[in-house]
Structure 1
Amino acid sequence: MTSLEMRALPGATENPVRLGKAAAAAPRRAALGEITNFNTAAVNTKRGATKSKPAAVALKTKRPEVQPQVPEVPAATVAPEVLQQLDVSLKEESELCQAFSEVLLTVEDVDEQDGDLPQLCSHYVKDIYRYLHELEQQQVVRPHYMQGYEITGRMRALLVDWLVQVHSRFQLLQETLYLTVAVLDRFLQVSLLLQVQPVSRKKLQLAGVTAMLVACKFEEMFAPAVGDFAYITDNAFSKAQILEMEQLLLRSIKFQLGGPLPLHFLRRASKVASSPTQQHYSTYDEAHLRPIVQLIAKNVVQVNDGNGKFKAVKNKYSSSKLMKVALIPQLSSAVVRNMAAAVDDSH
C-alpha cells in the first residue's frame, strides 16, 4: 500500500505507529476547545497520560468549591437597664427634633391632613403654587397699560360686565370666566406694545367673545360652537371674523394659556384664612394687601351706588345659588366706605 493510499484511509492521521513518535507525544485537541472556557492543558498535567477525558465529561465533574469555615459568634446579651436607658435617650431625641421643627416652622401645615385626597396633591402642592407665582411674573399685566390706547378702562369694564352675562347664559365654569379676562388683557397689552393690528373700538367686542371662545376650548369639556358666539353678539360679527381674530390672539400671546388665575390663588387663600398663615403661604403682608383691598372697596361702593351699569357681577352673586354674598350688610358698612375713600385718585 502506498503512502497516498495510507493517508486516504479513515483515521490514518491518528495512528501513532504510522506518524512517528512526535505525533504520539502531541496532546489530542478537545472538540470545540477554542470557544469554551474549559482548560484542556490542566487535565493533561501528567506526562505519559495515555487517555484524556472528553471536554463534556470534564465539565460535568467540576470540583466543588470549598467554602471557608466561619466560626459562630455568640449573640451579645444586653442588660435590661441598658435597653431602658437607650429607649429614654431615643425618646428625648425625638422630642428635641419635634421642638426644633416647631421653632423653624411657626405656622401650621395646612396640607398635612390632605394625604388621603389625591386630587389636592398635598405632597407637592407647595411646589405647584411656587411655580404659579413664577408664571404670574412672566405673564404679568402692567398697570395702566391702556394709556395711549383708543380703548379706555370704562370700555373694558363694560365689555367684562357683558362677558359675565354671556358666561352665565352659557352656564360655563368659573375658570372659563377668569381665563377669558386674563387672555383679553394680555392680548390687548401685547397688541399695543407690538403695534400688531391694535384692537380698535369697533372690534373690542369681537376680541372679548374670541377670548371666551379660546378659554372655553381650554377649560370646558363641551365648548360652545363658533356660531353660538356669533349669535350672542346679535350677528354683529361672523364666524369667519371670530376665527380670524382667534388666530391673531393666539399668535400674540404665543399660545400660552396655562397661566395662573386669581381663582387658583383665591382657593388657596380661603384654605389658609388666618393672619400669620396667610402671610406665610401667600408671601404677601398687610402692606401689599392694603391698597388692593381699598381698590376693591371702591369698586363695591361704586356698584352699590351706581345708576344701573356694571351690575352683572352683583346680580350674579345676589342669587341663592351663590349664597347671596353680594347682599350681605358688611359690603355697605362704614368700614368699606372708609377704605374706598382712602384710595388715591391716581388709581
Structure 2
Amino acid sequence: MALLRRPTGPAPPAEDISMKEENLCQAFSDALLCKIEDIDNEDWENPQLCSDYVKDIYQYLRQLEVLQSINPRFLDGREINGRMRAILVDWLVQVHSKFRLLQETLYMCVAIMDRFLQVQPVSRKKLQLVGITALLLASKYEEMFSPNIEDFVYITDNAYTSSQIREMETLILKELKFELGRPLPLHFLRRASKAGENLKQQYYTGYTENEVLEVMQHMAKNVVKVNENLTKFIAIKNKYASSKLLKISTIPQLNSKAIQELASPLMGRS
C-alpha cells in the first residue's frame, strides 16, 4: 500500500487561498439564487423600484442599521423613562393620523426622536417639543407638502412657539449631523412581504426565524396587552381599526393561540 506523501514545493500564497474561498462563496450564493425565485426580475421596467441595484441598496441599509442602532436601554439614568416615551409615541400616532401623513413619516419621526434622546439628555418639559419637532423634520424629509410649522404649534395647544420648534430643529440636526436617512422597519417589511415564503424571506432578509424570534415575542406581547386591555396605549389599534386600513387590528388572528404562545414567555405565563 503506497504511503501518502506530503506535497512538496512552496505553499500557495494566502491571497490565492482567500481568492478561492471568495469564489467558492460566490458560487454557492449563485447556486442558491438559482433555486430561489428572483423577486426583482419583473421590475426592470419600473425605474422607481431600482431592480438593478435593489440588493445593494438593502445591503447598505443593513450596514446603516448597525451604525445607527439604538441601545435597548438608552433611557436608563435619564429624566425621561420608557412610559413617558410611550405616552408621547401614542400621541404622535394620533397627530400623524390627523395630518394624514405618509407611513414613512411616522417611522422616521420615531427614529429621529429616539436617536436624539439617546445622545442628548432632555427634560420632561421639552419631551413633547422633541417629539413634535421630530415629526416636523420627518415631514420635510418624506412628504411632498409638509404641514406648516404653525400647524405643529397648534397641535400642541400652543405649548411651544414657532421659535422654540425651530431652535429644537437646529439642535436635533446638529446632534444627528444631518444624517436623517436611515433604514426603517417599513423598508424591511415591504421587502419581506414581497418575498413571501419562508425560504425566500430568509434569503432576501438575511435573517432566520430563530434570529427574529425575540422581536416576534415582544410584538406578540404588545398585541396581547392591547387586546386584554392591559395598556392605555391603544392609538395604533384604533388607527388600524378603520375601514381605510382594512380593520387589520380587529382580525381574529391577533387573538389566536399562536400569538398567545409567542407572548407567554414575556407575560410570565406558562
TM-score by length of structure 2 reads 0.85
1:184 aligns with 2:113: yes
Identity, % of aligned positions? 57
Residues 101/340 of structure 1: CA separation in 2 closer, same or farther (3 Å cut): closer
Structure 1 segment 32-181 matched on structure 2, within 5 A: 102=31, 105-181=34-110
Question: What CA deviation, in whole Å up to 9, does each residue of 1:112-136 have, x standing for no partner?
Answer: 1212222211111111111111111
1:288 aligns with 2:217: no
Q: CA–CA distance in 2 between the matches of 1:104 and 1:272?
A: 13
Question: What CA deviation, in whole Å up to 9, does each residue of 1:188-244 have, x standing for no partner?
Answer: 0011xxxxxx21111110100000011111111111111111110001111111111
Give the count of matched residue pairs. 240
Q: CA–CA distance in 2 between the matches of 1:278 and 1:289?
A: 12
Q: CA–CA distance in 2 between the matches of 1:182 and 1:143?
A: 13
CA contact (8 A) 2:221 2:264 kept: yes
Instruction: Answer 1 or 2: which has greater helix percent.
Output: 2
Question: What CA deviation, in whole Å up to 9, does each residue of 1:125-166 have, x standing for no partner?
Answer: 111111111111111111111111111111111100100000
In the TM superposition, residue 108 of structure 1 has moved relative to its aligned partner by: 1.5
CA contact (8 A) 1:291 1:343 kept: no
Runs of 4 or more off by more than 2 Å in structure 1? Answer: 100-106
Give the match for residue 53 of structure 1.
Answer: none
Select the structure of larger CA radius of gyration: 1
CA contact (8 A) 2:39 2:195 kept: yes
Q: CA–CA distance in 2 between the matches of 1:250 and 1:227?
A: 20
Q: CA RMSD in A?
A: 1.6
Q: Which runs of 5+ in 2 are unaligned?
A: 1-28
Higher RCO (C-alpha 8 Å, min separation 6): 2
In the TM superposition, residue 301 of structure 1 has moved relative to its aligned partner by: 0.7
Q: CA–CA distance in 1 between the matches of 2:32 and 2:150?
A: 60
Give the match for residue 183 of structure 2.
Answer: 260
Q: CA–CA distance in 2 between the matches of 1:166 and 1:337?
A: 31
Q: Which runs of 5+ in 1 are unaligned?
A: 1-99, 192-197
Q: CA–CA distance in 2 between the matches of 1:340 and 1:114?
A: 38
In the TM superposition, residue 106 of structure 1 has moved relative to its aligned partner by: 2.8
Give the match for residue 8 of structure 2.
Answer: none
Structure 1 segment 301-316 matched on structure 2, within 5 A: 301-306=224-229, 309-316=232-239
Which residue identity lines up with residue 229 of structure 1 in the other structure?
A: F
Which residue identity lines up with residue 132 of structure 1 in the other structure?
A: L
Q: CA–CA distance in 2 between the matches of 1:277 and 1:104?
A: 9
Q: CA–CA distance in 2 between the matches of 1:283 and 1:104?
A: 13
Question: What CA deviation, in whole Å up to 9, does each residue of 1:284-338 have, x standing for no partner?
Answer: 1011111110000000011112267211100111111111110000101122112
CA contact (8 A) 1:230 1:238 kept: yes
Give the match for residue 270 of structure 1.
Answer: 193
SS, match of residue 310 in structure 1: coil
Q: CA–CA distance in 1 between the matches of 2:145 and 2:45?
A: 30
